[in-house]
Structures are given as C-alpha cells and as structure tokens.
Amino acid sequence: MFLKTFFSTIFLVLVLFSCAEDHETKFSSINVTTNNNKLVEINIPKAEGNDEIAKTINTEINKVVSASLHIGEGAPNTETSIEENIEKFNTEYNTFAKDFPESTFPWEAQIDGEVMFQSPAIISISITSYLNTGGAHGNVHISFLNFDAGTGKRLENESLFISQNDFESLAKTYFEESIEDKSILFDPENFQLAKNIGFSEDGLILLYNTYEIAPYSAGIIEYTIPAEELNSLLTINSPY
C-alpha cells in the first residue's frame, strides 16, 4: 500500500510539472518576408505554447511591426498582416522610384525584436526598427512591450505601479543622475517620464527615442532603475 501511494504521488507531481511546462510561453525567432520583397528585413520573436496566450502576444507584436512599416500621413493600419505591410512598403518605393527616377538611393527597413525579460509574472519584449526612405539619415525607433505572462495581455505603463507619483519621483532621481549635461534637453527644467518602460534582469529600463526629449544629435537616452528599488512600487507580484 505504501509503495502504491508513493508511486501515485510521484506520478501526480510529474503530471503537474509537465502541465506547468506545457503552459509556459516559449519563444522562437522568425524571419518574415514575401516573394517580392527586396527592401525589408524582419527578425522577431514568436510566442509558442498556450494557444490563447501566444496568439495574444503575437498579435501585439504584429501590430507594432506593422505600424513601424507605415509610410506617409494618416494612422497606420495595424490590423493587416506584416506580410501585407512589407508588400505595401515595397510598392510605395517602386512608385517613388518611378516618380523620381533621378533618385538612386534605395529605401530600406530593418526590424529586430528580442525577449528582454521573462518570468512567471511578466514578459518584456523590445522591437527596434530602422527605416530609411531617402532622407539625410535613417530613423531608429525602439518600442518596449510588457505582457502579463499568465494571460498574454499587454500591460500599459500606468498599470505597472501602485502609485504613479511615487514611481515618477523615483524615476526622476535616476534620470537626473544619468544626465550629465542637461543643456541637451528640450526642456531641462521639467521632467518627462519615458513612454518606453521595460523589464530586464538588472531592473526597469526607461528609454527615450530620438527627438522625444532631445535633438537628433543626443541619440537615444536610457537609464535603469535597479530591481531592488522596485518591489514596493509594482502592482505585479514577484516579477523578479
């Protein structure tokens, strides 16, 4: 009887462990392109595992990548597939090349994504896009995406903190320590919280893209708040 109970317990533990592994979201790296594509290179993570969670995460990644390929005025259509937006980007260039045959500089787009941080509570992904459509220089833009690991739902920055005011005060302290020359800022007297906030092994990264708070020459500005400073401020239980 003892052996039967013992082996039954072991079997149950293994089953539960296996189920937990099956529900864990894993990521692979994929290259997205089309048959007629000559201008766009895309390498992004793809969520796999629980169908609903993976689908939700992949949908959000697709929206950000699709928006990154948008050319011209008006809001981007993020409901279309990445492949459709790749084709549209190539078509836009072909039209431009016909209208301005003297322009020999080809357009290009490079989009790369990576999983910055993953725990049982949260998943953070960064998407870096570089677009050059014939201007003086290309434009780099980085987007951080935070997801609830249990649902796949994208988390808005405001939902990450128990007190937005307390977090802003902490962020301002680290921002001021990281900026040696405040004269590079558009408005050095007023602190502006970064729109891009993402988790890493070291803590919370706050990132300002080019032109957000400083001119192009300043480049991308970022700083990190150490993980140990965040425990009492986060709405997420045990992200680290």
- Domain hosting residue 196, numbered range: 156-240
193 shares a domain with 86? no
Q: Do 129 and 191 belong to one domain? A: no
Same domain, 67 and 183: no
Please report, as a single letter, which amino acid is at residue 227. A
Nearest to 198 by CA among 104, 110, 101, 127: 127
Is there a single domain that holds both residue 142 and residue 165? Answer: no
Distance between CA atoms of residues 196 and 206, nearest Å: 6
pTM greater than 0.85: yes
Q: Are residues 220 and 145 in the same domain?
A: no
The answer to whether residues 31 and 149 belong to one domain is yes
Do 57 and 122 belong together in one domain? yes
Last residue of a domain, one of 116, 140, 155: 155
Does 177 lie in the same domain as 143?
no
Residues 190 and 114 in one domain: no
> Rounded to the nearest 5°, which phi and psi values hold at 41?
-120, 120
User: Domain check: are 126 and 221 in the same one?
Assistant: no
pLDDT digits (tens, 9 = 90+) for 7-30: 444 444 444 444 444 458 999 999
Q: Tell me the pLDDT tens digit for each residue of 176-223.
A: 999 988 889 999 989 999 999 999 999 999 999 999 999 988 999 999
- Mean pLDDT value of segment 41-51: 94
CATH number for the domain harbouring residue 29? 3.30.565.40
The C-alpha atoms of residue 87 and residue 83 are separated, in whole angstroms, by 6
Q: Are 25 and 50 in contact, with CB atoms under 8 Å apart?
A: yes
Q: Are residues 132 and 161 in the same domain?
A: no
